[in-house]
């Protein structure tokens, strides 16, 4: 065979091998592309189609009523207060233009009122949250009253002794700013006592919180207890003699004889009981005189500006508004706040 023919044969074989190799690579590429395409299709097909979620915008002062501490509420009742989604949009609206609190300096405190109200076609005892707004250029008081039927002696103590104080309320839209830069016009009565630490408190200390009442002293209005002629009697015998004695209408001898007749008091305890009642009457009369003198002195030492502030103070009592999801409280609204504040100027 000629040399030229050998070279041509070798070149043809090499070209055929190269062509076969390229075809093989093409097939592999096609298979890889097809495999990737299948994988891509499978991933794409596995994505579920979801509907967009819509959340109701939070109102600017929606949490205001929750931030106000419900003074005097039993600790184990707090959860029941928040079991309903109460709506205090009336309180929020009061701060808007045209509302009773618009543009004013306001101090807010909370309380609760257990009432029998209709809910889900039946009557139910519900702990209703209430918010009291005090319109005033300065804090109405820095004290708390502690009094109950069980406690014979009334205490007036500084708020801070019960871990309470007036603090500024910051609406939601302003909470990204520094508090000291805000000129807040809304202050709430807050309590820093942690519920998790209650188990470490003594029983008497724990009960004090439940007997707290926001205190207010109005020097231009005579306290109803200054005018009262009734004293509470708890004569220390077994069982104790508990009654009320009115020194204006009751006479000690007749009052005592009646108790003996009703077998509420033993015959041999008559003299000791009479002395006990007379002493309680003397203490009450002295307290009344001192209260009147303190009120007179406070007015004398008061500036005209402060006098005007006290005379212009207004109290507003807010109940939750009616909604389909909460009990209807419209028939149990009352103007009375507590023994110190008396009645609200307006109930909303």
Res 314: pLDDT: 93
β-strand pairing of 122-135 with 106-119 = antiparallel
d(CA 231, CA 219): 23
Res 197: pLDDT: 64
Look-up: residue for tokens 């029983």? 203
Residue 186 in 3-state DSSP?
Answer: strand
Question: Residue ranges of the domains in the chain?
Answer: 57-219+313-348, 220-301
Res 217: pLDDT: 81
Q: Residue 268 half-sphere exposure, CB side, CA atoms within 13 Å?
A: 1
DSSP 109-161: EEEEEEEEEEETTEEEEEEEEEEEEEE-SS-S-SEEEE--SS-SS-EEEEGGG
Res 226: pLDDT: 52
- Burial (CB count <10 Å: 0-12, 13-18, 19+), residue 199: exposed
Q: Closest by alpha carbon to 109, among 343, 347, 337, 345?
A: 337
Res 80: pLDDT: 83
Please give the C-alpha separations between residue 63 and each of 14, 60, 169, 348, in angstroms, as whole numbers.
Answer: 85, 8, 10, 18
Please give the C-alpha separations between residue 48 and each of 40, 43, 271, in angstroms, as whole numbers.
Answer: 15, 11, 90
Instruction: Extract the tokens encoding 22.
Output: 């390229």
β-strand pairing of 346-347 with 314-318 = parallel
Tens digits of pLDDT across the chain (348 residues): 444 444 444 444 444 444 555 555 455 555 555 555 445 445 455 555 565 554 456 677 778 888 888 888 887 787 888 888 999 999 989 988 899 999 899 999 999 999 988 888 888 888 899 999 999 998 998 888 887 655 556 788 888 988 889 999 887 766 565 555 445 689 999 888 776 666 666 777 777 788 888 888 877 776 555 567 888 888 888 888 888 889 888 898 888 988 888 888 888 888 888 899 898 888 888 887 877 787 788 777 878 888 888 888 999 999 999 988 899 898 999 999 988 888 899 999
Query: Which residues are 158's β-sheet partners?
Result: 143
Q: How far apart are the first and last CA of the chain?
A: 120
Q: How many helices (H) and strands (E) does the chain have?
A: 9, 13
Res 151: pLDDT: 56
């Amino acid at each position: 065979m000629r040399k030229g023919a050998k070279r041509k044969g070798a070149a043809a074989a090499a070209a055929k091998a190269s062509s076969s190799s390229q075809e093989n690579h093409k097939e592999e590429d096609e298979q890889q592309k097809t495999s990737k395409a299948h994988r891509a299709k499978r991933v794409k097909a596995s994505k579920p189609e979801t509907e967009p979620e819509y959340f109701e915008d939070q109102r600017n002062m929606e949490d205001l009523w929750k931030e106000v501490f419900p003074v005097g509420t039993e600790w184990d009742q707090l959860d029941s207060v928040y079991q309903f989604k109460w709506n205090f949009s009336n309180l929020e609206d009061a701060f808007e233009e045209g509302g009773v609190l618009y543009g004013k300096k306001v101090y807010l405190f909370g309380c609760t009122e257990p009432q029998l109200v209709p809910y889900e076609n039946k009557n139910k005892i519900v702990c209703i949250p209430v918010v009291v707004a005090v319109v005033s250029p300065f804090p109405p008081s820095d004290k708390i009253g502690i009094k109950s039927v069980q406690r014979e002696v009334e205490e007036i103590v500084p708020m801070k002794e019960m871990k309470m104080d007036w603090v500024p309320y910051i609406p939601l839209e302003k909470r990204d700013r520094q508090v000291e830069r805000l000129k807040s016009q809304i202050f709430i009565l807050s309590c820093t006592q942690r519920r998790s630490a209650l188990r470490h408190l003594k029983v008497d200390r724990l009960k004090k919180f439940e007997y707290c009442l926001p205190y207010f002293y109005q020097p231009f209005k005579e306290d109803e207890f200054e005018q009262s002629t009734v004293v509470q009697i708890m004569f220390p015998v077994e069982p104790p003699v508990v009654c009320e004695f009115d020194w204006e209408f009751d006479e000690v001898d007749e009052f005592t004889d009646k108790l003996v007749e009703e077998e509420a008091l033993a015959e041999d305890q008559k003299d000791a009981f009479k002395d006990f009642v007379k002493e309680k009457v003397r203490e009450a009369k002295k307290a009344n005189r001192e209260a009147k003198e303190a009120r007179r002195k406070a007015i004398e030492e008061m500036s005209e500006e402060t006098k005007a502030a006290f005379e212009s103070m207004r109290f507003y009592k807010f109940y939750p508004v009616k909604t389909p999801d909460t009990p209807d409280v419209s028939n149990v609204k009352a103007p009375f706040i507590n023994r110190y504040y008396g009645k609200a100027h307006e109930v909303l």
